[in-house]
């Protein structure tokens, strides 16, 4: 039985991957088409080193990280790009499950988004990948969030959009509900790790979370769409 739901933030509750892309591209001298996809799920320590070593930004990674976060905060203050149905989905599920959040975003950005959206009070625990040892696809954030919620990972479901996020939640032993990112969709073989695949947050209902996706075992090719 699923007793808690752990949301990702970027690409699930807030349509921010392209914002990260634009902000980082502004700072990168060797930006390339696959850079954003490569950094999805990385902790701030990991992506700031990537920005220095691969993208070619000068200066210490800590300064690169701080500057990108400042730019993201300004962008969010101008316009918070919430996903369609995000507020309704969180409120809907909060009536049946204890909610957590496990994100690769920096702590200041997590807090800013949840506060601006009026959603902070719905989450009993939130974890940033900068607060654990490894970012996604390592399972660290999806181990820590259930621990803070008071449940074993197997009693929790994760709502994810990216390949690295799906890998991380699955590795933690959680039931994965995937809502594939439209700009950076997970590979087919990774998406097959999800128990349920939905098209949007509108479909993220209490019934969908409680549904057993594979009463006779998972199919060999891909997960069943709810």
pLDDT band for 214, please (50, 70, 90 cuts).
very low
pLDDT tens-digit readout, 166-205:
999 999 999 999 999 988 889 999 999 999 999 999 999 9
Count of Cβ atoms closer than 10 Å to residue 114 Cβ: 21
pLDDT tens-digit readout, 105-157:
999 999 999 999 999 999 999 999 999 999 999 999 999 999 999 999 999 99
Residue-level pLDDT at 222: 46
* pLDDT above 70: residue 42: yes
pLDDT band for 220, please (50, 70, 90 cuts).
very low
pTM of the model: 0.85
pLDDT tens-digit readout, 11-21:
999 999 888 87
pLDDT tens-digit readout, 62-97:
998 898 899 999 999 999 999 999 999 999 999 999
* pLDDT above 70: residue 33: no
Which domains are seen in the chain, by residue range? 4-15+81-210 (3.40.50.1000), 17-78 (1.10.150)
């Amino acid at each position: 039985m699923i007793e808690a739901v752990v949301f990702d933030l970027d690409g699930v509750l807030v349509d921010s991957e392209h914002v990260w892309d634009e902000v980082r591209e502004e700072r990168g001298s060797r930006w390339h088409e696959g850079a954003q996809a490569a950094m999805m799920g990385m902790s701030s320590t990991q992506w700031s080193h990537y920005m220095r070593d691969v993208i070619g930004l000068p200066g210490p990674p800590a300064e690169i990280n701080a500057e990108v976060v400042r730019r993201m905060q300004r962008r969010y203050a101008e316009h918070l790009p919430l996903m369609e149905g995000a507020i309704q989905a969180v409120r809907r599920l909060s009536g049946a499950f204890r909610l957590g959040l496990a994100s690769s975003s920096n702590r200041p950005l997590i807090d800013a988004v949840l506060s601006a959206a009026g959603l902070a009070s719905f989450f009993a625990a939130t974890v940033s990948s900068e607060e654990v040892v490894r970012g996604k696809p390592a399972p660290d954030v999806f181990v820590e969030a259930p621990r803070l919620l008071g449940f074993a990972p197997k009693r929790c479901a994760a709502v994810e959009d990216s390949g690295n996020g799906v890998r991380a939640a699955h590795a933690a032993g959680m039931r994965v509900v995937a809502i594939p990112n439209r700009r950076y969709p997970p590979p087919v073989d990774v998406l097959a790790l999800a128990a349920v695949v939905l098209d949007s947050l509108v479909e993220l209902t209490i019934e969908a979370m409680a549904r057993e996706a594979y009463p006779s075992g998972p199919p060999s090719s891909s997960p069943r769409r709810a």
